[in-house]
Amino acid sequence: MPADSADPSSSPLVRRSRQAWLTLCRRLEGWSATRRALAWSASAGLLFSVLNATARELSLQLHPYESQFLRYALGLVVMLPLVARAGMAVYRTPRVGAHFVRGAVHTVGLVLWYLALPRIPLADMTAIGFTAPIFILIGAAIFLSEPMRREHWVASGVGLLGVLVVLGPRLSGQGGWWHLVMLASAPVFAASFLLTKALTRTDSAGVIVVWQSISVALFSLPLAASVWQWPSAAQWVGFTICGVLGSAGHYCLTRSFRSADISATQGAKFLDLLWATLLGWAVFGDAPTASTLIGGAIISAATVWLARRS
């Protein structure tokens, strides 16, 4: 038997996957920086939407604090083979403190997000998250000195209008309190993303994602320990899937931040509502309402317009 036959990285499936990935990256290199950033951001949105649907199902079975911890702990576990293959030296950074500050901020946002997650529909959760781009645009201008182009503001403003169309009828219902809890997570996540953008100036996407998993898992551990219930085998599999999706999604998101100004990536986030609506209907039977469809159309129009203007 050839010596390399036992190496999983030499299998035909891995080789084809690697070749497909390299081909995709070469094609993306031919695009403008803004279009590459939008493509990475849209890919992250799709991955996070599938993650959110899986996490919501698991959060209906286990306490949100435990779900939050396991999602990031398993995300770290699935990355360990990549870390071992590349070597620990690749993931060393002189900015460990900054990574832990970012992890602490992200953990606060996650606590709010996971508490509301089992209690509101996926489409509503995603639409509320679209207020984060407004906070990001303002923060990028103030703290990162990014130039704010008119089309960024217009696309985000139109997208926010679509969000209001989706959310308006819901905030007056019985679930309004949990909608506000979810809303409170938006500026916290915006701060986390701005810190991520600052970290991309010195660290690679892989380094940022690994340290995020380490820091968030550590900060979430005490909360999970206070409500711990041993997961079933199926739940372990579900959290492993969440770990893969989350790590891949954060990698794509970080690549989008490296490709262009963070303000240029926010238009693609509005596509997340379409993914969330479809998954909510398919998995949880949450049929999209007229307001969701109308708001989604407005949001999609804003995203397409921004991509064509970039």
In terms of average pLDDT, the best of 28-32, 51-55, 157-161, 214-218 is 214-218
DSSP H or E run through 148 = none
| CA 213/CA 203 separation, integer angstroms | 15
Average pLDDT for the chain: 78
Give the tens place of pLDDT for each residue, 52-98.
888 888 988 999 999 999 989 998 988 888 888 888 888 888 889 99
Range of weakest confidence among 43-47, 63-67, 183-187, 231-235: 43-47
Q: Are 65 and 223 in contact (CB under 8 A)?
A: yes
pLDDT at 8: 45
Sort residue 145 into left (φ over 0), alpha (ψ -120 to 50) or beta. Answer: left
Distance CA 237, CA 235 (A): 5
Q: Is 217 helix (H, G, I), strand (E, B) or coil?
A: helix
Distance CA 66, CA 228 (A): 6
- Model confidence pLDDT, tens digit, residues 40-51: 777 887 888 888
Q: What is the pLDDT of residue 172?
A: 58
Answer with the residue of higher pLDDT: 288 or 108. 108
Question: In the structure, what pLDDT confidence band is assigned to residue 19 with cuts at 50, 70 and 90?
Answer: low
What is the per-residue pLDDT across 122-178, written as a single tens digit (0 to 9) for each? 777 777 777 776 777 777 777 777 776 777 777 777 877 877 787 777 665 555 678
Report d(CA 300, CA 228) in Å as an integer.
41
Q: What's the pLDDT at 108?
A: 96
Indicate if the pLDDT at residue 23 is higher than 70. Answer: no
Neighbours of 58 (CB within 10 A): 23
Q: At 304, is the pLDDT very low, low, confident or very high (cuts 50, 70, 90)? A: low
Q: How many CA atoms lie within 13 A of 46 on its CB side?
A: 6
Helical (H) or strand (E) element with 115: helix 96-116
Closest CA to 194 of 134, 126, 245, 154: 134
* More confident site: 91 or 278: 91
Which range, 4-8, 9-13, 149-153, has the best average confidence (pLDDT)?
A: 149-153
Cα separation, 268 vs 253, in Å, equals: 11
pLDDT of amino acid 201: 84
What does the alpha-carbon distance between residue 100 and residue 104 come to, in Å, rounded to a whole number? 6
Nearest Cα to 51, choosing from 243, 224, 190, 211? Answer: 243
d(CA 131, CA 275): 17
Give residue 306's pLDDT band: very low, low, confident or very high (50, 70, 90): low
For residue 305, give the amino acid letter.
Answer: W
Look at residue 7 in the predicted model and tell me its pLDDT.
46
pLDDT range class, residue 205, cuts 50, 70, 90: confident
Contact 235, 58 (CB under 8 A): yes
Contact 205, 251 (CB under 8 A): yes
List the structure tokens of 154: 């217009």
Burial of 301 (0-12, 13-18, 19+ CB in 10 A): middle
pLDDT at 119: 84
pLDDT of residue 101: 95
Confidence band for 6, pLDDT divided at 50, 70 and 90: very low
Return the higher-pLDDT residue of 141 and 5.
141
